[in-house]
């Protein structure tokens, strides 16, 4: 069975997985929603493309399988199964997350600060598990963060997905010098200087994601990939608008420092975000920001903004 055949019709894959609809496509794979007919549960099938890049795609799929199998956390998409034998359709079977990506959610505008604190805490806890296993995600960005719906109507649960370019700390390069893997708008400055990837790069990316969720706009233009844009990124940390309250400013400034050795660990970020959850109940992190939901009634009364305690966020961080 070829990828084209699978794409053209609903099909039963390996007498087990009933492919239903395509939900995403990238350069090396296509993702389908499917039904695991044995376990009777929805799953996501990541089909590896069989084209002129098949060898590289398969190598990355093997790496992704090995890395995902080594970690387990509620903020990480779970790997269930894999079929990577050559000569047959190659795929990974993962948890299906019933909800939008964070990128899609942010098209409706900024989020409430408590929601941002919650997903920052959860993702940082997940990254702490990933980093403790000696793994670097390398592509922390809104489109790789899934928002799972709570079946009981509770808050969204954030899950980090797509370990397709993840690597082990200290692993040999898979690209030539000067070639950087990742998404330019969320890359740490040291990677633009051709430094070896490290766990601090994931922290930088998560800091940019949190800032974007608070403001509703990416810190760096998504189409700025030229030499001038790269130079500016290496020399200057992201601009944090004055309207961001002090507690958030302290955390994001630390997460996005130019020197990776000065950034907090994932565990430290999680503790700081937990503190922010407690001190931002009903408080806007962005002064005069819009409500969370796009199109909220203009006449809705809002609680009076107050300035948060500037030192609260530092309680869980190393000096």
The number of CA neighbours under 13 Å toward the Cβ of 149 is 7
Pairing of strands 135-136, 12-13: unpaired
Give the burial string for 224-263 (b: 16+ CB within 10 Å, else e).
eeeeebbeebeeebbebeeebbebbbbbbebbbbbebeeb
Q: Are 137 and 76 in contact (CB under 8 A)?
A: no
Instruction: Report the candidate in 34, 50, 84, 41 with the shortest Cα–Cα distance to residue 64.
Output: 84
46 has binding-site annotation: yes
Rounded to the nearest 5 degrees, what angle is found at the Cα of 225, between the Cα atoms of 180 and 203? 55
Instruction: Report the candidate in 89, 68, 90 with the shortest Cα–Cα distance to residue 79.
Output: 68
Catalytic residue IDs: 139
Q: Measured between alpha carbons, how far apart are the two ends of the chain, in Å?
A: 56
**3-state DSSP helix/strand/coil % of the chain, to nearest 5:** 35, 15, 45
Q: Are 68 and 113 in contact (CB under 8 A)?
A: no
Q: Are 186 and 205 in contact (CB under 8 A)?
A: yes
Annotated binding site for ATP: which residue ranges? 46
């Amino acid at each position: 069975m070829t990828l084209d055949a699978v794409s053209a019709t609903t099909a039963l894959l390996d007498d087990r997985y009933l492919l239903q609809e395509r939900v995403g496509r990238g350069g090396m794979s296509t993702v389908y929603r499917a039904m695991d007919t044995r376990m009777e549960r929805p799953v996501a099938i990541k089909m590896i493309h069989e084209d002129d890049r098949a060898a590289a795609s398969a190598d990355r799929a093997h790496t992704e399988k090995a890395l995902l199998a080594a970690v387990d956390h509620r903020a990480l998409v779970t790997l269930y199964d894999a079929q990577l034998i050559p000569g047959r359709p190659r795929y990974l079977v993962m948890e299906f997350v019933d909800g939008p990506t964070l990128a899609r959610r942010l098209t409706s505008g900024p989020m409430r600060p408590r929601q941002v604190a919650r997903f920052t805490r959860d993702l940082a806890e997940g990254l702490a598990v990933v980093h403790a296993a000696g793994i670097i995600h390398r592509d922390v960005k809104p489109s790789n963060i899934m928002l799972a719906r709570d079946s009981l109507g509770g808050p969204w649960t954030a899950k980090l997905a797509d370990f397709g370019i993840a690597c082990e700390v200290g692993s040999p390069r898979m690209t030539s010098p000067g070639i950087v893997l990742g998404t330019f708008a969320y890359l740490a400055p040291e990677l633009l200087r051709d430094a070896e990837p490290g766990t601090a790069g994931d922290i930088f990316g998560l800091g940019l994601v949190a800032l974007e969720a608070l403001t509703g706009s990416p810190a760096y233009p998504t189409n700025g990939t030229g030499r001038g844009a790269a130079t500016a990124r290496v020399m200057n940390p992201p601009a944090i608008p004055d309207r961001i309250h002090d507690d958030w400013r302290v955390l994001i400034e630390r997460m996005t420092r130019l020197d990776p050795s000065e950034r907090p660990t994932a565990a430290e970020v999680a503790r700081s975000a937990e503190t922010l959850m407690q001190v931002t109940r009903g408080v806007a992190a962005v002064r005069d920001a819009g409500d969370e939901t796009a199109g909220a009634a203009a006449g809705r009364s809002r609680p009076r903004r107050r300035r948060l305690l500037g030192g609260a966020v530092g309680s869980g961080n190393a000096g």
